[in-house]
Structure 1
Amino acid sequence: MTYKNVIYLVLLVAFFSCKSQMIKEETPIKAKNVILLIGDGTGLSQVSSAFYFKKTSPNYARFKYIGLINTSSSREDITDSSAGGTAFASGVKTYNGAVGVADDSTEVKNIVEIASLQHIKTGLVSTSSIQHATPASFYAHVTNRGLYEDIAADMVGSDIDFFAGGGTKFFNKRKDGKNLLEALKMKGFGIDTMALGDFAEIKQQSKMAYLLAEEHMDPMAKGRGDFLPKATELGIQFLTKDVANSDFFIMIEGSQVDWGGHDNNADYLISELIDFDDAIGKALDFAEKDGNTLVIVTADHETGGFTLSSTVKKTEDGESYSDYNEITGTFSTNGHSATLIPVFAYGPGAEAFSGVYENTEIFHKILEATNWDKRN
């Protein structure tokens, strides 16, 4: 072998060695855990209200990667929560009113079912009943979101490990006379219908359910307190308590931002949005310490056509003018709107949530970030 050939061979080996090292270094880290926070009815103006009305810095400001989603359902330009929730949970567009089924009413597998096959722990938290459209989309399969007793039965058959919210009556005051709370106990659930406990009180349980209202939780203005951020923190603690099996998925819903929008009640909406932002803070605090957790914050749709307007006032002469130093929340509808919805992401795979895309991509991007659908 000539001297030139030796030099060529050495350079060739070095090149492919460097290229192999570069490829290895550029392989993205997969997330072990996912926290999906859904502020029901929360559009950009709702998010913006935290920057004007929250007394502390909003947790929304802690995100680097931000995108936008189109929320239209399979048959309507404007979605409802069940079609929106199903898009997130299963990655398919469906009709308004559908929970966990496709447009042709066939069942579609949700992310909880996919993750559970990989022994990933799963949880749900909501300020509505746990059978309401958004949380139901992550464990139930019904053709109409109003079938609350059927949805409750699907919870018993699901692999959920932790849940907190309202909806006791759909388990124990049913038309069929069944007491599904007993069925939950048979599946290993500890059940508390009084208040959120401390982690030390529940860490020996294999599964845990908090059902703290007959139907929906009270609004913040009527004394709900710190349920949502506390349940977020407690759910994470519970799902990560087994060191050998601590990977998890949890969905946390701030349900009543939506209801403030439907009521065209700015005070109601803003108080719920600030509470939701506090829950975001708990999720981010954990993710920053953990390093393996993907946090996604978004909404199923916007409600109320909410706008942060200048306050209209009158001069001494009775003429109207806009005071640009004072903000008033105003509305254009009592229903949902078709506006694009922001997506905020933090952690491994967060960069993929930038851009503009369909709401169904949230599901696919989560699976890409975790490989939960491709593990052996």
Structure 2
Amino acid sequence: MKTSAAIAALISLSSLAGFSSAVTANEPTSETQPPNIIFMIGDGMGFEFISAYRYAISDINAGKLESTPFDELLSGAATTYPDDNTWVTDSASSATALATGVKSYNGAIGMDADKHPQQSIMELVRDKGWLTGAVSTSQITHATPASFFTHHPSRNMYNQIADSFATQRDDGRWSFDLLLGGGYAHFNREDKNWLPELQEQGMTVVTEFDELPGLNQLPAMGLFAPIGLPHAIDDQPRLATMTEHALRLLSEEQHDKPFALMIEGSQIDWCGHSNDIACAVHEVQDFANAVAVVREFQQQHPNTLLVITADHSTGGLTLGRDGVYEWLSERVMGIKASVYVMSKALAEMPADQWREYVTPRLNLPLTDEHWQPLMAAAEITDAEEREDAIHAALVYATADLTGTGWTTSGHTAVDVPIMATGPHAEKFRGYMDNTEIGKQLLELVR
């Protein structure tokens, strides 16, 4: 089992180093001044994902659980259903509810069920002169960030959503001061390259992650991948770092007005869709690190409200499967790559190289029972079907050998956590619908 030192290394929040010196507190003293609003969304992060993360960072031999940044913040739970007859929401409908306080149909971006645009918390505070921003590990044109800033009948209108972000409002300002995430391909495409035009109009645009520390003025846009950022398990975790710099930039620019920032841990959901437990745990880790960064910021800027929730849960995750009373967290944390990356790689290489590739990355005691579906996939000639079969075989092996259960590759209708701290946090206590979270945020500003 892991030693305590190894666990401590795993959960160390190196992104906090130097943070306190990088941000100067300029908190308004008036009790009537609305607080800064930081709204964090763990996409797909049902309670079960937090449980998996907690067990994964804990040493079972120590006989106790490690604490997480979520523990002292839990204040309630929320329903997530959309405005249709399904009970199961998608990210667009749920984000619209959280951003506007209004339910809508699955796929709606900032619109109600009749496709009428609804004012979001970001639009309201923008009209009042606040600074606004969003950070996401998906493309910034994805459902959650898009629902806070734009209005479209379908979440799949990625290019049109990019156009909305890039187009200035009637007052000559953009709808945001800062956007950080992926989505470069939607702003630089064959029919339109927005990036030179944005720069000519005064927007700072960076496309390399190592340019982020040098970003020192707003408005700004950081597009660090063509679509979504790499999974944390496959690359370096990025959400906490982007959060740190977003807070630095927004707090340095603000004067007599607060700011509103939406931070999304997007790929908890993506890993849930893939039924990839190791991938999901690493994404929750990245989200938890971002929460810790915000909590450090709050200590210096006490007039800051932090609200955390999930838009839904994904995958029907269970810790334990097939009637066996066991979940092997150490095996989960020993996996070195996402199922997505491994499936892509295997689909492109000869089958006689698969064992050499898979063995150190899965790091699991694979038996013939687990190799057989993989070898069967090697015989499939259709490229897409072959990759799908490889993915399914890796999911089966990973789930079977870690004691992890999945019921779906989609979303579920279970309740999700609500966490809140800071001024007016009491408004987010208890059991409520996700629209109530949005309504309470809007009410704080009106």
| 1:3-24 deviation per Cα after TM superposition (whole angstroms, max 9, x unaligned) | xxxxxxxxxxxxxxxxxxxxxx
Residue 363 (str. 1) matches residue 428 (str. 2): no
Q: Tell me the SS of whatever aligns to 2:255.
A: helix
1:34-70 CA-partner distances (Å, limit 9, x unpaired): 111101101001111221113663110131x511111
For residues 228 and 305 of structure 2, what CA distance do their matches in structure 1 show?
A: 28
Match of 1:226 among 233, 237, 250: 237
Task: Confirm or deny that 1:202 pairs with 2:212.
Answer: no
Counterpart AA for 1:215: I
Q: Which runs of 5+ in 2 are unaligned?
A: 1-30, 59-65, 168-173, 330-401
Secondary structure of the 1:49 match is helix
Is 1:66 equivalent to 2:75 in the alignment? yes
Distance 1:367 1:108, change over 3 A: closer
Q: Does 1:85 align with 2:95?
A: yes
Please say if residues 324 and 403 of structure 2, whose CA atoms lie closer than 8 Å, have aligned partners that are also in contact: no
Distance 2:227 2:326 in 1: 41
TM-score between the two structures when normalised by the length of structure 2: 0.71
Superposition deviation, residue 206 in structure 1: 2.7
Code of the residue aligned with 1:48 in structure 2: it is S
Residues in 1 aligned to 2:56 and 2:325: alpha-carbon distance in whole angstroms: 19
Indicate conservation of the 8 Å contact 2:320/2:326, yes or no.
no
CA contact (8 A) 2:82 2:104 kept: yes
- Deviation, 1:367, is 2.6
- Give the counterpart of 2:135 among 106, 114, 125: 125
Equivalent residue number for residue 301 of structure 2 = 290
- Residue in structure 2 matched with residue 168 of structure 1 by the alignment: 184
Matched, 1:98 2:114: no
Q: Which of the residues 264, 267, 273 maps onto 1:256?
A: 267
1:191-223 deviation digits (Å, cap 9, x = unpaired): 110114455x222x2311110111111111221
Shift of 1:29: 6.4
Q: CA distance change for structure 1 residues 285 and 132 in 2, over 3 Å: closer, same or farther?
A: same
Aligned to 1:265: 276
Deviation sequence 1:208-252 (CA, Å, 0-9, x none): 1110111111111221x1310011010011111135245111111
Please say if 1:331 is aligned against 2:347.
no
SS at match of 2:137: strand
% identical equivalent positions: 35
Match of residue 380 from structure 2 = none
Indicate yes or no: 2:415 matched with 1:340. yes
Structure with the higher fraction of residues in helix conformation: 2
Which amino acid in 2 is paired with 1:202? L
User: Secondary structure of the residue that 2:407 maps to in structure 1?
Assistant: coil
What residue identity is the alignment partner of 1:322? Y
Superposition pairs of residues 290-329 of structure 1, within 5 angstroms:
290-309=301-320, 322-323=325-326, 328-329=403-404
Return the alpha-carbon distance in structure 2 between the equivalents of residues 167 and 198 of structure 1.
Answer: 16
Matches within 5 A, 1:3-22: none
Which of these residues, 44, 55, 72, is aligned with residue 47 of structure 2? 44
Task: Give the match's secondary structure for 2:76.
Answer: strand
Q: Deviations over 1:58-106 (max 9, x none)?
A: 110131x511111000003100000001001111000001101110011
1:140-190 Cα offsets, whole Å, 9 max, x none, are 11101101010001111342001111111111114xx22111332244211
- Could you tell me which runs of 5 or more consecutive residues in structure 1 were left unpaired when the two chains were aligned: 1-27, 313-319
CA offsets, 1:286-330, max 9 Å, x none? 1122110111111100001112227x7xxxxxxx85347867332
Equivalent residue, structure 2, for 1:13: none
Secondary structure at the counterpart of residue 228 of structure 2: coil
Secondary structure, counterpart of 1:251 in structure 2: strand
Aligned letter for 1:159? S
What is the alpha-carbon distance in structure 2 between the residues aligned to residue 186 and residue 110 of structure 1? 28
Alpha-carbon distance between aligned partners in 2 of 1:54 and 1:31, rounded to the nearest angstrom: 37
CA RMSD of aligned residues (A): 2.1
In terms of fraction of residues, the more strand-rich structure is 1
CA–CA distance in structure 1, aligned partners of residues 117 and 325 of structure 2? 52
What is the rounded CA distance, in whole Å, between the counterparts of 2:87 and 2:309 in structure 1?
A: 18
Partner Cα distance (2:141, 2:71) in 1: 31
Please give the alpha-carbon distance, in whole angstroms, between the structure 1 residues aligned to 2:435 and 2:78: 9
- Among 175, 186, 190, which residue is 1:159 paired with? 175
